[in-house]
Amino acid sequence: MLAELDLRIKQWEDTAEQLQVEGARRAVLEGELSQVLRRTVVDQEAERQRIARELHDSLGQYLTLMNLDLDGIGRHEEASAAIRARVGKLKILTADAGQEVNQLAWEIRPTALDDLGLQTSFQQFIEEWSKRTDLEFDLHLSLGGRRLPESVETALYRSLQEAVRNVVRHAVAKRVGIILEATDAEVRLIVEDNGKGFEWKADSMIDAPSSRLGLLGVRERLALVGGTLEIESAAGEGTTLLIHVPL
C-alpha cells in the first residue's frame, strides 16, 4: 500500500515538474511573440510615417508647383482662349489630385501626431469626421498640450480611429462622446456612442460579432504599451470603450 502511494506521489511530482517546465517554455514563447509583435508595430508605424511624409512633402509640393506653372501658362498674353480653358481644367485636376494626396497622407499617418502631439491629432481627426458624417461629436481633452511617449500616443490614436470607424459603420448612432485625460500615473480614453449596441460578453473577444473584431487588434496594440481595453455594450443601449494606459 505504501509502495503504491509512493509511486503515485512520484508520478504527481513528475507531472508537476513537467507542467512547470511547460509553463516556463510557454512564458518564453509568449515573451518572444510579444517582442516580435512590438517590433512589427513599430516598423509598421515607421513605414506609415515615411510614406505619409513622402506624399505630403514631396508629391504634394510637386503638385503645388505644377499648379503654379499652369497658372503662369494660363496668364501668358500669347495664350489663346482654348489654351486658357484647357489650362483651367488641368488646374482643377491638379488641385483635386493634391487634395487626394493630402487626404491619403493624413489617413496613413497624420503629421500632427508626430509634430504637434495627441491632443491636436484628436482635434483634427474629429474635425475631419465631422465633415464626412452627420455624427455629433462631444470632445473633452485634458492633456494641456502635454506630450506622451510616442508608442502611447500612437496606440491611443489608432484606438480612436478604430472606435470611430466602428461607430460610423455599424452603430447607427447620432452622438459620440470622447474623453481623453491624463494623470501622473495613467492616461484614459473613453469613447461612447448612443447607437444600437450589441450583445457583448466581457470574458471573450471571440464572442464579439465579426464587425467588432477590429477591437481585438486594438486590445493587442494596447497590451504592447501595458494598456487595457474594456467594452460595455448591450443591444439598444450603445457602446462604451474604456481604455487605460499607464505612464
Looking at the structure, do residues 79 and 195 belong to the same domain, yes or no?
Answer: no
91, amino acid identity: K
The mean predicted confidence, pLDDT, of the chain is 81
Looking at the structure, do residues 53 and 124 belong to the same domain, yes or no?
Answer: no
Looking at the structure, do residues 140 and 84 belong to the same domain, yes or no?
Answer: no
Instruction: Divide the 247 residues of the chain into consecutive groups of 10 and give the mean pLDDT of each group.
Output: 63 68 64 65 75 74 77 73 80 81 79 89 93 92 89 94 91 94 94 86 52 74 92 89 95
Confidence at residue 105, expressed as pLDDT on a 0 to 100 scale: 75
How many CB atoms neighbour CB 92 within 10 A?
A: 12
49, amino acid identity: Q
- Residue at a domain's end among 72, 87, 108: 108
Looking at the structure, do residues 102 and 121 belong to the same domain, yes or no?
Answer: no
- CATH number for the domain that contains residue 209: 3.30.565.10
3 state DSSP class of 145: coil
Looking at the structure, do residues 36 and 137 belong to the same domain, yes or no?
Answer: no
- Residue at a domain's end among 92, 108, 124: 108
Please report the DSSP string for 195-238 in residue order. Answer: S------TT-GGGS-GGGTHHHHHHHHHHTTT-EEEEEE-TTS-
Q: Which domain holds residue 63?
A: 2-108
CA R_g for the chain: 26
Spatial distance between the Cα atoms of 72 and 69, rounded to a whole number of angstroms:
5
Looking at the structure, do residues 52 and 145 belong to the same domain, yes or no?
Answer: no
Q: What is the DSSP letter of 185?
A: S
What are the grid coordinates assigned to 2, written together? Answer: 505504501
- Residue at a domain's end among 108, 125, 154: 108
What are the grid coordinates assigned to 19, written together? Answer: 507542467
Looking at the structure, do residues 99 and 144 belong to the same domain, yes or no?
Answer: no
Looking at the structure, do residues 124 and 184 belong to the same domain, yes or no?
Answer: yes
Looking at the structure, do residues 94 and 194 belong to the same domain, yes or no?
Answer: no
Looking at the structure, do residues 100 and 134 belong to the same domain, yes or no?
Answer: no
Looking at the structure, do residues 57 and 90 belong to the same domain, yes or no?
Answer: yes
